[in-house]
Homo-oligomer: A and B are copies of this chain.
């Protein structure tokens, strides 16, 4: 029988969030009721904004008429949306249309792009970190070095091929300072390595001096790829839309001292393995851009941030909070016990679901993640339940 890629036997049997969702199901079946408050998966709960819904309706009208129907999108998405991305999200950053690849999911892009590189390369990941980075690198047989502290990690005495930076970080909510990021860019240029910058949560940044895009840092276009998603920014989790910026300046060396453009290879991969994003989803956010309705999105983000702040404020009273600055929809707390123990403790006694920190890497042990994505009502109810825990 056709043989299995041995790397597939090296990852955990279950993806972290599939495991949590199974535990949730088990609880509901056991107790024959769902009195749970789910603060685990980072999934939005507010409905799509009015301008997005209007965009979907406009798009469906266009697709219902042969005069305005369009078929396959380009594999990197339509220019009409790329123009708005440049105009709204990359003001004065000189990003070109053919450097933008619109897709259905950052998760797909960030894991599939590894296919372009040799197997068994070395990558540096923050710990704790989004588990997709870990799993997708294990699937390529890559060696993973963990970054405990971004400020002290460099210089690294091992040759690294790719450094991943997620800012604001999932799960901790920490942001990288501009001057630290500058050090990473300089290091990457000097040491021929790439930087994958995941800014899925940039819309949540409150600190005024924090960069939203890595391209705000000088010379970054020589080495950095940026991943962005509308999932959290615009509440698009059900309708799938994201984009990846691959600057044309990034060249990869071939063994024969020639170079090849990463942008060219990424496009070639997309052309072969992908058929582009949905016109309906593109049009939803396009309509928000062209009708200047970004405030609707901002209002939703502020709602989630307020939930997050309420949770964090509670944990401050218990000395379990790890941050004073909220720049993401996540609360990362010290739970003072193994994180899966805390998971079952909260589930069985307080009917609250969260995410065990260990699921994000070994530095996450003893920590726990809550999200601000629930409703205000549920968030307040969760806090009420948590308040019943005796302070230690």
Contact = CB atoms under 8 A, between A and B. Distances in A.
A18 B274 contact: no
B63 A111 contact: no
Interface stretch (A237-245, A336-344, A349-357): A237-245
Contact of A56 (B3, B56, B252): B56
A26 to B, nearest CB: 17
Interface in A30-68: 41, 43-48, 50, 53, 56-57, 60, 63-66
A44 B71 contact: yes
A104 interface: yes
Contacts of A45: 66, 69, 71
**What interface size band does chain A fall in?**
35 or more
A260 interface: yes
B3 A252 contact: yes
A240 B116 contact: no
Contact of A278 (B6, B104, B375): B104
A384 interface: no
Given A4-B260, A274-B108, A280 B56 contact: yes
A47 B65 contact: yes
Interface in A216-267: 231, 237-240, 251-255, 260, 265
A328 interface: no
B43 A72 contact: yes
A146 interface: no
Given A63-B238, A71-B43, A239-B63, A107 B274 contact: yes
Interface in A267-281: 268-269, 271-281
A64 B52 CA distance: 9
A193 B2 CA distance: 6
B8 A269 contact: yes
A1 interface: yes
Given A3-B121, A60-B57, A116-B4, A272 B111 contact: yes
A136 interface: yes
Contacts of A312: none
Given A56-B56, A63-B239, 19 more contacts: A2-B192, A2-B193, A3-B118, A3-B252, A3-B255, A4-B118, A11-B272, A45-B66, A47-B65, A53-B60, A53-B63, A53-B64, A56-B280, A57-B60, A72-B231, A111-B273, A135-B272, A237-B275, A238-B278
